[in-house]
A and B are shown apart, each in its own frame.
Chain A
Amino acid sequence: MSKEIFEKLTSSIIMGEPEATVEATQEALAAGIEPMDIIRQGLMPGMNVVGEKFSSGEYYLPDLIIAADGMRQAMELLEPELHARHQTLESAGTVVIGTVKGDIHEIGKSLVATMLSANGFKVIDLGVDVPTQKFVDKVKETGADMVGLSALLTTTMTVQREVIQALTVAGIRENVKVIVGGAPVTRGWAKDIGADGFAEDAMGAVAVAKQLMGKG
């Protein structure tokens, strides 16, 4: 009986049907299935398949996003249940992410945020045109493991360097890993400015983030 429900959960994620995911999650809870099992045996297998299909070229960005949306909606139902059982889903890490000051591009950054969330990271998305100090303050406030900095203009990518410097000045550079990305950003640039990681796209960012957390 639970096998059927797990299959429903998994396939709703793979088919990109968030409504069906919500329905199946409610059904699973009503049937007394543990939230942890719902996640591990129903939802995550679906997300993994979606990730594989994207890598193999069968799925595209909208497919990733809609699957992640289904995941997010399911988690909204499950989090209170976990909380009530004094359980927490082990987070892959906490990431503060944003597009640097002076830059309003958000698609790439939002894609990375979505994919990180879908892969078990706790993501604090500061949005776009984020003042440098705000990154620093948020890292301090949350004790984040990582900071993701997005810049899409050559005129704004230098701000990534400034954020790293600001973290150093605040004395917390050692406590946090910095990942940079965006169209003009290259591996060479990331190295030059002392970033810990660089990724060219959202899936790459997830891989790098996992690696930096020692789980890659």
Chain B
Amino acid sequence: MRPKLNILSDGLVEQIKQEAFGLLLDPGVRVHNKEALTLLAEAGAQVDFEKRIACIPERIVYQALESAPREFILFNLEGRPVVHYGGDSVQFDPGSAGVSVLDDLSGVQRPPTTADFIKFVKLVETLPQYDAQSTAFVCRDVPEGIGDLYRLYLALNFMRKPIITGAFGIETWWTMWEMLVTVAGSEAALAEKPLAVFDVCPSPPLLWSDLTSQNLIDCARKGVPAELISMPLAGATSPITLAAAVVQHTAESFSGIAIHQLAKAEAPVVWGGAPAAFDMREGTTPMGDVNTWLIDCAYIQVGKTLGLPTHTYMGSSDSKLLDMQSGLESAGGTLLAALAGANMVSGGGMIDFLRCQSFEKLVIDAEIIGMARRLIAGIEVRDQPIALEHMRKSAHKANFLSQPHTHKWFKKELYIPSSVIDRGSLDAWQKKGSQSCDRRAAERVEQLLETYQPNPLSEETRKELRQIVQRAALKYGMQELPPLD
């Protein structure tokens, strides 16, 4: 039996959906994109093109929910199916779009560079706990205008795993898609074996911007899975009650799916999110917060009842350091996300409200992920009878350490953490240097990087990718891209 977590009663899920439908009619959804408004109008929504508001009847949403696929697969660079979005598959990727990296020794956050990003991609490749890459942070050594596509360019050069990414612009989405097509070999090949998911975010409350609407439409038409990231902020950009925040999330996601499926029915789409409960003291958006987790688990449950693939941002911390707060917040979120059954859990490596990435934390979070995976694997019956014969054979002797049965099963039964988690005696710990967890993680970062294997991208493909990005960089005044080594 697999341990699961449900937050809402069936009745409450129903009411949430009903109220979401109600919101779609009144006040309706703001859609700042002409094509999206047209698609909705043609489908029978009541659209005010001047005010740019669409009142969407539930019929259109039901149709979209019908046609949206219940599952899809992501493929790695070598074309193998490795990530399953759908059902109760639970997978993990690092948080993305950070603006700084942490220097753990000094505790100082600094602007990320190309070298940082490459190091990060390599590190993610060596950590089996992460099922996918993410475009983890924006590099400050290239012009802002190519900030989104540059991350993808770097990742494609060093990754094998699929990637969760996103665009910051309408044009740059196309450049990123062009890169993916180059790697896949053709448009059709990419659509058949998606290598990347694009995050698309409505703005709370109830607004699809020009950029995000366009991204939605372009993703749908090109068969690039779109991961909706609705992010109501309870008490600030949504009503304060957690239930109301979930209603808003549902309404925003309903409208996104409607636009998406109208652009191209059956295109893959994900019920994702990054909501939070507004911090009433600091005015910030805490991710490592139990109120936030409740909203997350609730909307995941709603998504599952709709039969859609799900995603969430859980497992990151709001602390500015790798300290106890960062540990407890990351563990709480990761374990709950796993129990809630989100197909993709984003957040590994991050602190400071999704602003800062840390190599050491990526490694520590991998431990938490390992624990979470073990948790939802539950307790299995390995052999029959479970204990009777073993214990009768041992006849009151505590001799299980030496049993072949123990040798046979211990690695399958137990999640065994890496050296990042210290389980030694006091003496043993002191002999190893009395290190804290983050220092052990720092050592492990170096060890893991040594094991990195380059990906099999051909020289020709690398050259093509470089040319695509160089062209884009030139538009922003950069003559030459930073070197990749």
Contacts and interface: CB of A to CB of B under 8 A. Distances in A.
A60 B237 contact: no
Given A155-B168, A158-B144, A201 B237 contact: no
Contacts of B156: none
A111 B283 contact: yes
Given A104-B203, A201-B282, A155 B235 contact: no
A183 B99 CA distance: 11
Contacts of B282: 201
Interface residues of A, number: 15
B236 A107 contact: yes
Contacts of B233: 107
Nearest to B148: A155
Interface in B277-309: 278, 280-284
A61 B237 contact: no
B247 interface: no
A57 B281 CA distance: 8
Interface string A57-78: 1001110000000000000000
Contact of B283 (A57, A104, A154, A201): A201
Contacts of A57: 281
A183 B355 contact: yes
Contacts of A62: 235, 280
A150 to B, nearest CB: 12
B370 interface: no
B354 to A, nearest CB: 10
Contacts of A104: 203, 209
Most B-side CB within 10 Å, residue of A57, A60, A111, A154: A154
B194 interface: no
B281 A155 contact: no
A107 B280 contact: no
A61 B138 contact: no
Interface in B142-161: 144, 147
Interface in B173-223: 203, 209
A61 B168 contact: no
Contacts of A60: 280-281
B147 A61 contact: no
A206 interface: no
Nearest to B97: A154
B110 to A, nearest CB: 11
Nearest to B281: A60
A61 B456 CA distance: 54
Contacts, number: 33
Contacts of B280: 60-62
Contacts of B236: 107
A45 B281 CA distance: 22
A108 interface: yes
Interface string A138-166: 00000000000000001100100000000
Interface string B353-377: 1010000000000000000000000
Interface string A101-115: 000100110010000
A155 B147 CA distance: 9
A61 B240 CA distance: 13
A80 interface: no
Interface in B224-250: 233, 235-237
Interface in B103-126: none
A147 B237 CA distance: 25
Contacts of B353: 183
B99 A184 contact: yes
A154 B138 CA distance: 9
B283 A107 contact: yes
Contacts of B355: 183-184
A209 interface: no
A28 interface: no
A100 interface: no
Contacts of B203: 104
A39 B113 CA distance: 54
Interface string A88-104: 00000000000000001
Contacts of A167: none
Interface in B340-393: 353, 355
A183 B281 CA distance: 15
A202 interface: yes
Contacts of A61: 278, 280-281, 283
B228 to A, nearest CB: 18
Contacts of B99: 154, 184
Most B-side CB within 10 Å, residue of A57, A61, A202: A61
Most B-side CB within 10 Å, residue of A108, A158, A183, A202: A183
Given A104-B203, A184-B99, A155 B144 contact: yes
Interface in A163-208: 183-184, 201-202
Contacts of A155: 144, 147, 168
B211 to A, nearest CB: 10
Interface string B451-472: 0000000000000000000000
Contacts of A184: 99, 355
A66 to B, nearest CB: 12
A100 B237 CA distance: 19
B137 to A, nearest CB: 10
Nearest to B235: A62
A202 B283 contact: yes
Nearest to B138: A154
Given A183-B355, A184-B355, A108 B168 contact: no
A108 B99 CA distance: 20
A108 B235 CA distance: 13
A108 B144 contact: no
Contact of A108 (B138, B281, B283): B283
Interface string B266-281: 0000000000001011
B144 to A, nearest CB: 6
Most A-side CB within 10 Å, residue of B99, B168, B233, B355: B99
A104 B235 CA distance: 18
Most A-side CB within 10 Å, residue of B209, B236, B278: B236
14 contacts: A60-B280, A60-B281, A61-B278, A61-B280, A61-B281, A61-B283, A104-B209, A107-B236, A111-B283, A155-B144, A155-B168, A184-B99, A184-B355, A201-B282
9 tightest A-B CB contacts, nearest first: A60-B280, A154-B99, A61-B280, A107-B236, A60-B281, A184-B99, A155-B144, A61-B283, A201-B283
